[in-house]
Each structure stands twice: as C-alpha cells, then as structure tokens.
C-alpha cells in the first residue's frame, strides 16, 4: 500500500445547516465529515436561520462552532440582510467576524445592490463570494450563470473589489473569468468535483443528481478541466449541501437541490482526473489545499496534514458517511485515494 502525506484540504464552500436546519446537518456532523474527507478548514455558507447578517446572529453560529467543531470552521456573513438581495449588511462591522460575504443560494439580482456591496467591500478589505444566478432564466440555461458573472466583472473592474465566483459550471463562465484575469481584474473562482467529473449523459432520474447549478454538457466539463489546468479556476470546493433522505427521494425534478461532497472529493478527483492522466496530482492538491487558503488569506499550517492510500481501490458507500446527508451521485463508484488519517495542528481528528 503506497501512502502519501499531503497538506490538509481547505473548502471555501460548505453548508452545515446549523443554526436552523439541524435535521439536515449540524456543525458537529459536518465538521466530522470534513475531517473524514481530509479537510482541516472549511468555510460555512450563510443560508441559515437566523441568517448571519448581524453581530448577534454570527455570534450564535460562532458559539456552536467553538463548542462542536473538530476542525476549523469559518463562517460567512451574508451580503444582504436576510439574504433577500435588498439591503446591505454592515460589511465594515462584520468583516472581522467572518471569512467573506455571500448570499449563496441566492444571486444578488440588482446591479445597484451589487455595485454598492463591491464598493463597501473594497473600502473595507472584504471579499464578496457570489452565487451567480439570474432568476429570470431557468438554471439549465448557462446564461443564468454567466450573465451575472459578466455583469459583476464589469462592476469589479470599476470598484477594485476582490470578487470570488462560486461553483462555476459552464464554458462561457470559464472564458469570461480567463479574460478578466488577463485584464487584471481582481477575480478568483472555484468549481466543484461533480462539474469536473460528470456531464448530462450521467444524469439519472434520482435526487442525487439534483444540484444548483446543474450538471451541464461534456463540452462544459472539458472547459472546466482546461480552466483548472491553466489556472483560470483557482480552487475546487465541494458545495457540500446535505438534505434529509425525504427531501432527496422525489426524483430528479421534485428533490431538493444539493449533494454532499466532503467525503468523496479527493477520491473522485484522484480517480477520474489524476489516474486517467488528465490533471497532475500536484494541481489537484494545489486546488484543494493551498489555493483556497491563498484566496481568502488564510495561513497554511504545516502541521495540518492528510494521509492517503493511493493504491487500494474501495467503493463509495454513502450509508457510512459521517455527514447526516447521504445524497451523492458517486454512491457505488469504485475509486482510489482513501483518506486514512487527518491531522489538525498535529492532532489526529480522523483515523480510518
């Protein structure tokens, strides 16, 4: 058995559902799932109840994190109050209490609201992480994603804000961000393992294939791989989004949007991209570990490590997940790259 010791992973985009939806996931179970997947730092999105849009609300989440998390969990605050897209939160006051600002799960529809958010973020040294979705278009239309990206890149060029684009899934999105980077615009982005390894041909009539943005064409998938290789795509994030079994049991059309990903990310990427010769191992590790920390200005800790068996195949079995969510399109896949141990500051937080 050949094992490697790698820098532990960092995920810029997870949903831990607490406070507010603890039947889907808790900070405790989400953090355990992260540790089982090789992650020692994750950034938790703000679609919670209450939304972390004030000092009082973000402290409520932080208190639970301090009590229950076995790894580093960094909260987001929302861009707008209640994630309603109308009134900005107090970015200047909140910026030292969160890792970045996002209305994830909802795109900011108003150009004026986004412009003012970017101006305030730029003046405050804060990062905006945007879920890009035009509500006037169906999510299956790629323009629903790349249209808001195109709009926001123009605003970013004018304001100088650090603009991070969440979970890109289309060729046009990659192209727009590549051009923006070449022009010196302060933009970074992420995609997710499912967009790099699946396409429309893989979709079945089951809730485990339902996520937002949706899986797109093989051509879109190829563009994402190209973007990962040339550095247009900075990071790989899981968009870990657990739901109850009932919420994911209503077929492709009727199920809630979102899949879990923390416990499958590395094996799926290693098996489909690295072992196939498409992407070097170093590039995948960079996108999972160093780049996310660099994007958000998080320090690297050489004592945060993950030990991985690269040679022994195993079958993904969602019934054994630490996460309360079990909906993954990768259930039953034979993969390589099992996480054997995760160490946070040299302390073992997970051991197989």
Which 3-state string (H, E, C) describes the chain?
A: CCEEEEECEEEEEECCCCCCCCCCCCHHHHHHHHHHCCEEEEEECCCCCCCCCCHHHHHHHHHHHHHHCCCEEEECECCEHHHCCCCECCHHHHHHHCCCECCCCCCCCCHHHHHHHHHHHHHHCCEEEECCCCCCCCCCCCHHHHHHHHHHHHHHHHHCCEEEECCCCCHHHHHHHHHHHHCCCCEEEEECHHHHHCCHHHCCCCHHHCCCCCCCCHHHHHHHHHHHHHCCCCEECCCECCCCCCCCCCHHHHCCCCCCCCCCHHHHHHHHHHCCCCCCHHHHHHHHHHHHHHHCCCCCCCCCEEEEECCCCEECCHHHCCCCCCCCCCCCCEECCEEEEEEECCEEEEEC
Whole-angstrom Cα distance, residue 94 to residue 132? 22
348: number of CA atoms within 13 Å, CB side? 7
Residue written as tokens 């958000």? 296
Catalytic member of 103, 104, 220, 239? 239
- Give the separation between CA 237 and CA 191, rounded to whole angstroms: 6
* 331 in active site: no
Measure Cα distances from 38 to 228, 293, 340 in Å: 21, 15, 9
Catalytic residues: 239
């Amino acid at each position: 058995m050949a094992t490697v010791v790698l820098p532990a992973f960092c995920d810029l985009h997870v949903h831990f559902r607490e406070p507010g939806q603890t039947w889907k996931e808790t900070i405790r179970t989400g953090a355990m799932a992260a540790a089982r997947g090789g992650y020692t730092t994750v950034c938790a999105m703000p679609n919670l109840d209450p939304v972390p849009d004030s000092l009082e609300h973000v402290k409520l989440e932080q208190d639970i994190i301090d009590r229950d998390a076995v790894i580093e969990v960094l909260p987001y605050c929302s861009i707008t109050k209640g994630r309603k897209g109308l009134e900005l939160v107090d970015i200047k006051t909140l910026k030292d209490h969160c890792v970045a600002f996002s209305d994830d799960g909802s795109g900011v529809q108003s150009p004026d609201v986004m412009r003012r958010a970017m101006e305030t973020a730029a003046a405050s040294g804060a990062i905006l992480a945007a879920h890009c979705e035009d509500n006037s278009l169906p999510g299956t239309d790629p323009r629903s994603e790349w249209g808001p990206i195109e709009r926001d890149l123009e605003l970013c060029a004018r304001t100088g804000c650090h603009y991070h684009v969440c979970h890109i899934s289309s060729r046009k999105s990659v192209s727009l961000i590549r051009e923006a980077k070449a022009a010196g615009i302060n933009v970074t982005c992420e995609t997710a393992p499912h967009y790099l390894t699946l396409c429309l041909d893989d979709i079945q009539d089951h809730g485990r294939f339902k996520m937002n943005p949706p899986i797109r064409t093989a051509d879109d998938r190829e563009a994402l791989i190209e973007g990962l290789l040339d550095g247009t795509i900075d990071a790989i994030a899981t968009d870990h989004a657990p739901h109850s079994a009932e919420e994911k049991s209503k077929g492709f059309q009727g199920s809630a949007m979102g899949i879990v990903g923390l416990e499958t990310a590395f094996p799926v990427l290693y098996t489909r991209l690295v072992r196939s010769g498409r992407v070097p191992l170093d590039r995948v590790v960079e996108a999972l570990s160093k780049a996310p920390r660099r994007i958000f200005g998080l320090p690297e800790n050489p004592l945060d490590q993950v030990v991985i068996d690269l040679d022994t195949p195993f079958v993904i079995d969602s019934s054994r997940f630490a996460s309360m969510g079990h909906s993954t399109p990768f259930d039953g896949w034979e993969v390589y790259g099992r996480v054997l141990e995760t160490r946070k500051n040299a302390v073992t937080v997970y051991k197989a």
